[in-house]
Amino acid sequence: MAGAIVYHAKTLCDQVDTLWRLLNRVSIPVAELTDTRNQNKATFSTESMARLYIYQMVHDFSQSELADRLANRPALLKGFGMPKPPTQQNISYAWSQFSEQTKVTLEAASRGILLEAHDQGLITDVLLPLQPSENDIEETEDQSTATRKYVHDHGSKVVELARRHGFAEFRSDRADNRVYEDEQILDLFANACLTQGSAHSEGEAGWFLDKNDFCDDSTFLRVIKQFSMSPGQELPKPFQEYSIGDVVAFTEEFRETLMESFDAATENILSTIRHEDPFDDRHVAAAIDFTHVPYHVWPWIDKDRQIPKADYPPMVSGYKGDGEIKHGYTFATITVVGNDVPIILGIEPVKECSAWEPEDAPAGSKADVVDRLLAIAQQYVDLDEVLLDRGFYSNDVYATIHDRGLVYMTPVPKYENDYESIAKIKSKDGVDAAVKHDVPFAINGELHHTAEFLYVPATDEEADGNYAVFVTNRDHVTPNEIRHVTNSYSRRWDIENQYKSVKAFLPKTSSKDYRVRLFGFTFAALLYNLWRLTDYLVKVGMGRDIRSPPVVTAKTFVRAIGKYLREGG
C-alpha cells in the first residue's frame, strides 16, 4: 500500500509547487489502515492522523515539536482536516492504536514521498535530512556552528539552486551572438559583491589570469545596465544627461524591469523553503525602512550662493547620519521579521526632495512607497502587522496600512501634549506606563481611523523625558497589554541587521548611472536572501530552530560561497 501512496504522490508532483501542497493532496487509502480507536468518539479521523504522521516523519519532528507547530499554525490544521490542534497526548494515543503494519506502511510512504519529491524536482537535495558528523561542527564559547567546509559542501548545492532559480531570472535580452552569457556576467557581479570589488577589478583579474570568461569592465557595465531595461529599450544619450523629470520617469521603468526579476527570484527562494510554509505563523510581522547607500560627492559648486552641480545624480538625496549631513541613494525594503525566516520580500527605489534641486522637482511619497511594498509582500505571505520607524510618522502612511486591514506600530516624535501625558504618569505611584485611547487620524480633514498612543519608559537614558511614545491602530490596548505590545517592536531590529549585511555585499562603483546603482542594491539584496536561504537549509539539516543565531554567518557565506562562485562560474 505504501507503493500506491508514493505512486499517487509522483503523479501529483507536476501539479503542485511545494512539498506541503503535495502532502495535502496525496491520497491515503484509509480502508487499508488499521486504527483500533473508537471512530464514533475520535476527535481526529484516521485519515487526518495518517496524513499527520507522514508529515511528521517527512520533517523528522518529535511529537512535542509536532504538537507545538500545529498549535501555532492554523493553516496546517486546515490542510489536515482537523477541527482543533491535537495535544501531544492525542498524537501519542492515536499512534499507539495504529497496527504495526500500518506504522510500517506510513513510514515507508513518508520516505518514498520525500525521495520522489526530490527526484521530480519539487524539492532539492538540500532539503533532504542531513546528519552532520562531529567533524562538521565547531564549538565556540556560547554555541555550536558548522565548519566552513560543511557550509561550502552543503552551500554549493544552494548556489546551484540560485544559479538556476535566482540568477536565471535576470535577463539582458542581448543578441544571440553575444560573446558572454548573462550567467557569466552575473557570476562576475557576484564575485564583485562577495569581495567588494568593482567592474574594473573583475576585468583586471580576468586580464591578469588570462581567463576567457572574464570580460572587460566596459562590457561588464554595459550588460549590467541592460539588466535594468526592458527588451528593445534604448537610451540615445548618457543617462546623466537627462532632466530630473526624465530620470525619475526612466527610473520607474528600470524599477519595474528589475523588480520583475527580483520578485521572480524571491518567489523561487520562497518555494524552496516553503515545503511546510515557514511564514504561516500565528502572527506574521514585517518591517519597512529606508536605507542609504553613500555617494561621496558634494552637490554644490557654491552652497552659499545656491549654485548646484548641473550633472549631480538626481536620485541622490541628503540624509542625517552619525550627527552630520551625508548624501546617498535611498532604498526602501520590506522584510519578514519576528519568528520567521528574515527574507527581503520587496525593494523600492526612493526619490526624495533635495535642497539643490528645483522646487518643482518630482519626489515620491512615503505612503506610495509603503503601499507598493505591502502589495508585493502580501503576494507571498499573510501579513498581520507592519513595524516602521518614526520617520514614517504620517497620517497618509497609517491610512494606507489601515486600509489594507493590517496593524501598524511605530514610535512617534514627542510633542508638548506628550510631555504633559508623561508628567501625569510620573505623578502616580506604582504606574510607569499609560495609554491614550482613540486618538483621531484624519485624511483631507475627515476622520479616517483612530489609534492608541502608548507611553513606556525609554530604554535610552538620554531620551527626552525618559519615555518613549508609540502609536498603533490595535483595538483598545489595555494597561496590562502595554508592555507586551511595545516590547514586540524590538523585532524591527532584524531590518537594521539586514542593511548591514546587504551593504557588505555591495560592490564598489563610481558610476553616476542609476541603472548600475539600482541593479547593485537589488543584486546585493538577492545575495542576502541567498545567505539566509543557505543558513536556513543548513539549520534544517542540523535540526536547529529557524530563528536561532545564524549557523552560517555572512562572513562564512562570503568565504565559502564566494570561492564556489569563482570556481563554478
* Ramachandran assignment for 210, one of left (phi > 0), alpha (psi -120 to 50 degrees), beta (any other): left
Q: Tell me, yes or no, whether 535 and 431 share the same domain.
A: no
Q: Which three cell numbers stand for residue 164?
A: 538556476
387: confidence class by pLDDT, cuts 50, 70, 90: very high
Largest CA-CA distance found in the chain, in angstroms, rounded:
90
**What integer pLDDT is reported at residue 276 of this predicted model?**
46
Q: Does 247 fall in a domain?
A: no
Residues 411 and 488 both lie in one domain: yes
Are 501 and 529 contained in the same domain?
no
Same structural domain, 356 and 227: no
Flag whether 135 is in a domain.
no
Could you tell me if 327 and 317 are in contact, meaning their C-beta atoms sit under 8 angstroms apart?
yes
Rounded to 5 degrees, φ, ψ at 96 are -70, -20
d(CA 555, CA 558): 5
Q: Which domain holds residue 355?
A: 276-505
Is 558 found in the same domain as 498?
Answer: no
Other Cβ atoms within 10 Å of 147 Cβ, number: 15
pLDDT of residue 111: 80
Query: What distance in Å separates the CA atoms of residue 128 and residue 537, rounded to the nearest whole number?
Result: 9
Q: What is the CATH number of the domain that holds 475?
A: 3.90.350.10
Give the pLDDT score at 208. Answer: 36
What's the average model confidence in pLDDT over 504-518? Answer: 87
pLDDT band of residue 140 (cuts 50, 70, 90) is: low
Is 244 a domain residue? no
pLDDT the model gives residue 129: 40
Q: Are 479 and 434 in contact (CB under 8 A)?
A: yes
Measure the CA–CA gap between 59 and 536, rounded to whole angstroms: 14
Q: Which of 505, 537, 552 is the last residue of a domain?
A: 505
Report, as an integer, the average pLDDT of 241-260: 85
Confirm whether 266 is domain-assigned.
Answer: no
Q: What separation, in Å, do the N-terminal and C-terminal C-alpha atoms of the chain show?
A: 46
106-110, 193-197, 242-246, 339-343: least confident range: 193-197
Question: Could you tell me how many residues make up the chain?
Answer: 569
250 belongs to a structural domain: no
Q: Using alpha carbons, list the distances in angstroms from residue 555 to 155, 327, 560.
A: 13, 28, 9
The predicted structure's pLDDT at residue 176: 72
pLDDT at 236 over 70: yes
Q: What pLDDT digit, counting tens, does each position of 86-103 carry?
A: 998 898 998 899 898 888
Q: pLDDT tens digits, residue range 403-417?
A: 999 999 998 876 656
Tell whether 78 and 182 lie within a shared domain. no
Which phi and psi angles does 289 have, rounded to 5°?
A: -160, 165
> Grid coordinates representing 384?
498581520
Rounded Cα gap, residues 366 and 386, in angstroms: 14
A 10 A CB-CB count for 18 gives 19
- Number of structural domains (the chain) is 3
The confidence score (pLDDT) of residue 480 equals 83
* Same domain? 309 vs 337: yes
Radius of gyration of the chain measured on its C-alpha atoms = 27
Same domain, 529 and 558: yes
Can you tell me the distance from the alpha carbon of 26 to that of 24, in angstroms, rounded to the nearest whole number? 6
The per-residue pLDDT of the chain, averaged, comes to 79
pLDDT, residue 126, reads 46
Same domain, 538 and 471: no
pLDDT at site 127 = 46
Burial class of residue 142 (count of CB atoms within 10 Å of its CB; 0-12, 13-18, 19+): exposed
Residue 136, in any domain of the structure: no
In a domain, 562, yes or no: yes
Q: Is residue 420 domain-shared with residue 551, that is, in the same domain?
A: no
List, for residues 27-42, the tens digit of each pLDDT value. Answer: 888 888 888 888 888 8
Residue 327 lies in a domain: yes
479 and 543 fall within a common domain: no
Instruction: Verify that 118 and 158 share a domain, yes or no.
Output: no
Q: What is the mean pLDDT of residues 176-205?
A: 71
Alpha helices in 238-344 (DSSP H): 244-273
Beta-sheet strands, E only, within 38-119: none
Rounded to two decimals, the pTM is 0.72
- At 107 the pLDDT is 86
- The mean pLDDT of 335-341, rounded to a whole number, is 79
> Looking at residues 311-319, what average pLDDT do you find?
88
